[in-house]
Structure 1
């Protein structure tokens, strides 16, 4: 028995992701040398009722934490880090930023000096009180240069941990790109994929059992009655009925196959498949597709099934009069993302924990995407799906 060929499967480029994370955290730690003192100075102005500068700097600091360290705070509402907390956090950011600046300054001096000294052929000397180290400049550049970069990345990781730990004493903190969080997310996503596959199998079984199988049985009964009929006119009438049932059966098989996977998705793309959803929906559906890039097939498939299930849920439960379906996927951003929005004017009150919406979330989470549901009582209901479109994500 031959195993399937897995050579075409693309795995995430983990070194590139780790390098981007290291650069982001190094720059974020260095930026703390600027925002930390500003946070301390503006916090000292609070007893004088000068609050506007502090609020602005605090917003910058919370933005730095989110962008540089991917730190998400439970109390990120514009009122966190006030008073003495701001002083302590600002001092910590300042000290960590200063050490990072000193480390980068030392690394830059060693790397740049070794590089230029390599052209002269003279060695690099490190003089201490008790000994002197003299090594060829290319060796220092090759060995010490990468070691300094690694030291900066490790120090930035430690700085992120220190600041997240300090913030964790005051509120709950989640580092979205932490290794433990990533592993937990992958384990949850794997379980969600299994559940989504099981749900899809049950749905297909129901479609076949409740629809196709019943029509096949009815067609078989009609043909049997036609064979037993002694009156030619009656037999012809039953054969005509069986023929009509066979046409209905063919149409139903096509609909079941379309619900399993639409051929238009591969032949004509996502826009065409969404047009078919709009044409077959009993409610008016306004579609707007703005896709300026070639989407991966798995992203197109997920977007189609989310749109179809969302429209089906609106028809069944929302009592809406119209549906707006919009898809946007700009190809000019650094990390392109497909954004699908389904909006209806129904009663609202959709439960995000319901089985249907949870099934959509599990399907999208398998592609590192997310689904948000905004459905206040009285409506409108807005379902927003986002999936990254880079093939190596």
Structure 2
């Protein structure tokens, strides 16, 4: 089987079991919701839990602000879905128990009695139960995602935002994100200009002065000394120019991929960097670029301001997203509104991701980014 097919099959199986677990929780909370709807107390809180459960085990539901009356109406109807889920789970468990019993009776001869004509009871029962049992198991297995979809539909129908309101909200988000991306690009251009002006340009000026002095000198010993200084300055200028080019876009990312780019970043860092990249396949150029710059900026920010002994980087794939966590054991107190980190937040938000900085005084500092996969 192709690797992508294997990953897809594993993803489907994990998704099914995730929905099954959500269905079990939903069956329990369905009865509780009926009682809460009748009493009235805690309806909004339980509805918030139901929405978080649906998001955790299926997909997020976009809703209007919750009200007590709306939550009570939702819970008064939702117990039916919970009961349906409980029925599917009971049928699934019942037929699995029967299947296990049949296999046990078939394996251990003599467990069940023989009938008068000599036919073995387990063999006959296996023939009678196998086909309808397989059909019931198939139906109940398909019923798990079906009930999960019904659960999400009910929440969307009774609590969700209308399509027009959701579209307006999305347009507003995209407009805001576009403005923030433009601002981030301008900030990046200004930083590149400062790097070129304060670093590379100054070294080139110094190199020109050294060459000019070398041309005017009559002393061979001073000439050699000036040429050595010019050579050293030229080497330093090339190194700094490479650093600026890497900060603009690392060529190794295109040549060798994200894993090698992160390794090169760790090797060039002034602090020890431990990288745990769990990605089994390339997520695409756009996401690789975002992930690289999140790690790069976080590591540089830690080395410059936090004085850590080690920075730990973890890149972990999810069902439909990728999580990047960068943690250092430095002094903490990182400013999330600073130029570097705020630029990262805008870069992550441009791909509909989430970005968070947790940095109490005294450390540790944890930078968390989640980017959705295409």
Residue 48 of structure 2 is aligned to residue 63 of structure 1 = no
* 1:304-347 C-alpha deviation (Å, 9 max, x unpaired): 111111111111222322110111235xx3x3x22111001122
TM-score by length of 2: 0.64
2:7 is aligned to none
Q: Check whether the contact 1:34–1:94 (CA below 8 A) recurs between aligned residues.
A: no
Q: Relative to 1, partners in 2 of residues 1:224 and 1:58: Cα closer, same or farther, differing over 3 Å?
A: closer
Q: Check whether the contact 1:295–1:389 (CA below 8 A) recurs between aligned residues.
A: yes
1:130 is aligned to none
Structure 1 residues 209-218 or 255-264, which shifts more? 255-264
Which runs of structure 1 show a deviation greater than 6 angstroms over 4 or more consecutive aligned residues?
32-37, 54-58, 72-75, 156-159
Q: Check whether the contact 1:37–1:90 (CA below 8 A) recurs between aligned residues.
A: no
Per-residue deviation, 1:380: 1.3
For residues 59 and 228 of structure 2, the distance between their equivalents in structure 1, rounded to whole angstroms, comes to 72
Residue 86 of structure 2 is aligned to residue 90 of structure 1 = no
For residues 259 and 59 of structure 2, the distance between their equivalents in structure 1, rounded to whole angstroms, comes to 37
TM-score by length of 1: 0.61
Q: Relative to 1, partners in 2 of residues 1:43 and 1:208: Cα closer, same or farther, differing over 3 Å?
A: same
Residue 288 of structure 2 is aligned to residue 300 of structure 1 = yes
For residues 231 and 69 of structure 1, the distance between their equivalents in structure 2, rounded to whole angstroms, comes to 78
1:258 is aligned to 246
Q: Check whether the contact 1:92–1:163 (CA below 8 A) recurs between aligned residues.
A: no
- For structure 2, which runs of at least 5 residues remain unmatched after alignment? 1-25, 82-151
Per-residue deviation, 1:252: 1.8
Q: Relative to 1, partners in 2 of residues 1:158 and 1:305: Cα closer, same or farther, differing over 3 Å?
A: same
Q: Relative to 1, partners in 2 of residues 1:349 and 1:234: Cα closer, same or farther, differing over 3 Å?
A: closer
2:16 is aligned to none
Choose which of 219, 223, 226 in structure 2 pairs with 1:235.
Answer: 223
Residue 147 of structure 2 is aligned to residue 163 of structure 1 = no
1:248 is aligned to 236
For residues 245 and 62 of structure 1, the distance between their equivalents in structure 2, rounded to whole angstroms, comes to 59
- For structure 1, which runs of at least 5 residues remain unmatched after alignment? 1-31, 98-155, 166-173
Q: Relative to 1, partners in 2 of residues 1:278 and 1:180: Cα closer, same or farther, differing over 3 Å?
A: same
Residue 343 of structure 2 is aligned to residue 359 of structure 1 = yes
For residues 358 and 173 of structure 2, the distance between their equivalents in structure 1, rounded to whole angstroms, comes to 23
* 1:161-194 C-alpha deviation (Å, 9 max, x unpaired): 75358xxxxxxxx99x921221111011101110
Equivalences, count: 279
Choose which of 293, 306, 316 in structure 2 pairs with 1:328.
Answer: 316
* 1:105-150 C-alpha deviation (Å, 9 max, x unpaired): xxxxxxxxxxxxxxxxxxxxxxxxxxxxxxxxxxxxxxxxxxxxxx
Q: Which structure shows the higher helix fraction?
A: 2
2:140 is aligned to none
SS in structure 2 of the partner of residue 382 of structure 1: strand
Per-residue deviation, 1:389: 2.2
